[in-house]
Structures are given as structure tokens and as C-alpha cells.
């Protein structure tokens, strides 16, 4: 009787989660990430065997661990990429709080593993570097704050994000971890610029960076040693930079051959910070260009898809995540060819490391979630709430 009076209510057909995810995801970017992970395993077979031999372990011990952590990273990437932007925001805020608390506890419970910077929690069977997980969560939080400032009577999100950025950068600089501090500040600057930052504040931040750099050089022997090593015209062939530079030169265009490289026997960080030197020596410039092209494809495609996005939070978050992902890769490779001072930064999905690869999986997962194809409102909707 009710249907006769009011008419039948049409049932809503909901598309299953997996087909909808596959239809809307950026398949090119995901393919590039899978290729990078495969290249990382390939290079790990060469670079990590000497380290395992020096430590009295099985030859492929580190490769097996890389495959295990990489599997967790890919699972995290797929899981996060299936989330809605609102869920990514909630997880990001929670992750930032946990990572920041862990960062504060490092001076008490952390270790430096003899590298001069207290960056890790050691659990015997594994170690965790909180700053790796802090980066994507920080981008999500500051993007949320800045997007909220667009609303009529919204909070002063840009000012709050600036104070938060200075706090995080200060905490990282105290470790000292100037590389991660610079990357976090860069990520904040990108998000702030896209959100419509006044040029005067950007100038103030750049001035603070210069002043902070001089202060760090004068007060930190660890930082000063790396800057001096970068500025000196002659490279000591017995240093990591010397070994890496020589390996890249020896590799040439086609490389010396699979397994024939020698730098892996000399570089203690051949499987992490200087993995690109192993790639250049054994496989030559060709593989290096392929790796650069894969990173470039992920960043460029993500930014292009974000230009069509109308939601400020999605646009700001995606832009920040894409930029820190690409710049971290650029910094790692720039250090290896001596374009940048040594930073102790891994090559995402290619270098060995538990925290770094899982954090990279979370970063790219959130980026894929932001760049999924979704219905867009009319352009006028952006200005519909007064503050936009």
C-alpha cells in the first residue's frame, strides 16, 4: 500500500570495494613503485652479500629481510590507498601524535648505532626510526590545518602549521638529523606555497634556514664534518663519497657487469644510502636513468591528477606527499654523485631498511588515495563556503 501511495524506493547499487579501487587508482604510479621495489631486490642481491659476510650471516640474510619488510610496505601501500581522504586524515593525525611522542623519547631511549646521531629505537631483532613515519603524517596534519583555514571563521591553520613545523624541525635538528629536518621543512613549504603563502613569510623562513645552517655548522661537529667534506675540492678516495664517485665513473654507460662491481666490498652503506652507486657500477647509466624515470613518473602523474582536484585538503596533502617522495629520492642520488652534502637518507623502495621502506609504503599509499579518480563538484563549489 505504501508503494502505491509514495512509489517504490530505488535500491542503491554499491560497487564492491576492490573493483572500485582498481578502477580509480593510478595504475601507472603503482606499476612504477612495484618496479622500483623489484630493482631494490635486484640490487640488494649484489650490495648486501658483502655486509652479510662481514657480519657472519647467511649470504642473502639482508635480501630476505628486505623482501619481508618490502612485502609489509606494499601491503600498507595498498591498504592505505583504499582509504577515503577522511580516513587518511584520521590515521595521519594519530600517526603524527605517536611519531612525535616517539621523537621526544629518543634522547632517553634511543641509540645512534655508532653513527653520531640518535635516531633509532633498537629492539634487538629490529630497529625503528620515528622520523621516517613522522614525515607523511606531518604533511597530512599541516595540509589539514591549512585546508581548514579556508573555511569561513576557520582556525588560523597556516600560523598553527608554521609553529608545528618549527617544533618538528627543532626536534629533528637536536638528534641531529638535519637531512630529515630539511625534508620536513621543504614539505611544509610546498604545502604552504600551494595554499597561498605570502612571499614575505617564505623569505623569513629561508632566512631562518640560513641562520640555522650557520648555527649548526658552528655547534655540531657531525654537521660541520659533512659540510667540509662536501666543500673540499678533492675527494678522499677512502671515504664513502670517494668510493661512490669512483664506482659511478667505473660503471660508465653499460656498467661493468652483474656481480662484477667492487664498491659493495668497500662501502659500509652500499645497501642503503649509496645503493645507487652499486646500480651505476654494475648496470651503468642505463639503470640509473630508468630509476630516475620511475620516480619522475610517480611525481609528475600525481601532480597532474591533483590539478583536477577541487577539495583543498586532498590537493594540499597529495602535493606535499608527492614532493617529499620525489625530493628524498633526489637527495639520495644527489649525495652519491656529490651534488649535495651527505644526508644519511635512503632511496625509497630501493634501499634496504625496515622503517624507511614501510614509511615509504604508507607515504605512497596516502598519495594514491589522494590521486584516485573521483567525481568532482563544479568549480563554483570551491567558493561556496565563503572562505574559498
Q: How confident is the model at residue 237 (pLDDT cuts 50, 70, 90)?
A: low
Beta strands in the chain (DSSP E): 121-122, 127-128
Sign of torsion over alpha carbons 191, 197, 201, 202: positive
pLDDT at 231: 65
C-alpha cell at 210: 640560513
Give pLDDT tens digits for 125-169: 778 889 999 999 999 999 999 999 887 777 888 889 989 999 999
The C-alpha cell at 96 is 603524527
CB of 26 closer than 8 Å to CB of 368: yes
Give the residue-averaged pLDDT of 251-262. 82
Which is more confident, 222 or 322? 322
Q: Please state, rounded to an integer, the average pLDDT across all residues of the chain.
A: 84
Check residue 79 and give its pLDDT: 96
What does the pLDDT read at residue 91? 96
How confident is the model over 25-74, as pLDDT tens digits?
Answer: 999 999 999 999 999 999 988 888 888 888 888 888 889 999 999 999 99
For the chain, the structural domain boundaries read 23-109+128-373
The average pLDDT across 189-216 equals 79
Please tell me the predicted confidence (pLDDT) of residue 59: 85
Average pLDDT over residues 324-351: 87
User: Span 77-88, mean pLDDT?
Assistant: 95
Report whether the peptide linkage leading into residue 269 is cis, meaning its omega lies within 30 degrees of zero. no
Alpha carbon 19 to its chain centroid, in Å, reads 28
Average pLDDT over residues 191-211: 79
Percent of the chain residues past pLDDT 90, beyond the cut: 43
Q: What angle do CA 22, 35, 296 make, to 5 degrees?
A: 90
- pLDDT, position 228: 67
- pLDDT-wise least confident of 45-54, 332-341, 373-382: 373-382
- Residue 377 Rama label (left phi>0; alpha psi -120 to 50; beta): beta
pTM over 0.85: yes
pLDDT tens digits, residue range 283-321?
999 999 999 999 999 999 999 999 988 899 999 999 999
Amino acid at each position: 500500500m505504501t508503494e502505491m501511495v509514495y512509489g517504490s524506493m530505488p535500491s542503491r547499487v554499491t560497487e564492491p570495494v576492490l573493483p572500485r579501487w582498481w578502477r580509480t587508482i593510478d595504475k601507472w604510479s603503482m606499476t612504477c613503485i612495484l618496479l622500483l621495489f623489484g630493482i631494490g631486490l635486484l640490487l640488494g642481491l649484489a650490495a648486501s652479500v658483502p655486509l652479510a659476510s662481514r657480519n657472519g650471516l647467511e649470504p642473502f640474510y639482508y635480501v630476505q629481510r628486505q623482501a619481508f619488510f618490502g612485502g609489509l610496505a606494499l601491503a600498507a601501500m595498498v591498504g592505505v590507498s583504499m582509504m577515503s581522504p577522511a580516513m587518511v586524515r584520521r590515521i595521519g593525525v594519530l600517526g603524527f601524535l605517536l611519531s612525535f611522542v616517539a621523537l621526544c623519547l629518543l634522547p632517553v631511549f634511543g641509540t645512534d648505532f655508532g653513527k653520531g646521531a640518535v635516531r633509532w629505537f633498537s629492539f634487538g631483532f629490529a630497529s625503528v626510526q620515528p622520523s621516517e613515519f613522522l614525515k607523511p603524517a606531518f604533511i597530512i596534519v599541516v595540509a589539514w590545518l591549512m585546508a581548514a583555514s579556508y573555511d569561513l571563521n576557520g582556525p588560523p591553520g597556516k600560523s598553527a602549521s608554521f609553529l608545528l613545523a618549527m617544533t618538528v624541525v627543532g626536534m629533528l635538528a637536536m638528534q641531529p638529523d638535519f637531512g630529515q629536518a630539511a625534508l620536513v621543512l621543504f614539505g611544509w613549504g610546498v604545502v604552504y606555497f600551494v595554499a597561498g603563502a605570502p612571499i614575505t613569510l617564505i623569505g623569513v623562513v629561508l632566512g631562518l634556514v640560513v641562520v640555522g645552517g650557520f648555527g649548526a655548522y658552528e655547534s655540531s661537529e657531525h654537521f660541520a664534518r659533512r659540510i667540509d667534506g662536501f666543500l673540499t675540492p678533492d675527494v678522499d678516495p677512502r671515504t664513502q663519497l670517494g668510493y661512490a664517485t669512483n664506482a659511478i665513473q667505473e660503471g660508465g654507460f653499460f656498467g661493468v657487469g652483474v656481480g662484477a662491481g667492487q664498491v659493495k666490498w668497500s662501502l659500509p652503506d652500499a645497501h642503503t644510502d649509496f645503493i645507487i652507486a652499486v646500480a651505476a657500477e654494475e648496470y651503468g647509466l642505463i639503470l640509473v636513468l630508468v630509476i630516475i624515470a620511475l620516480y619522475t613518473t610517480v611525481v609528475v602523474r600525481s601532480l597532474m591528477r591533483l590539478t583536477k582536484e577541487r577539495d583543498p585538503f586532498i590537493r594540499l596533502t597529495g602535493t606535499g606527499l608527492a614532493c617529499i617522495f620525489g625530493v628524498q629520492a633526489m637527495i639520495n642520488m644527489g649525495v652519491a654523485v656529490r651534488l649535495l652534502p651527505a644526508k644519511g637518507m635512503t632511496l625509497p623502495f630501493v634501499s634496504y631498511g625496515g622503517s624507511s621502506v614501510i614509511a615509504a609504503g604508507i607515504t605512497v599509499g596516502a598519495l594514491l588515495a589522494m590521486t584516485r579518480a573521483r567525481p568532482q563538484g563544479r568549480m563554483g563549489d570551491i567558493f561556496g563556503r565563503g572562505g574559498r
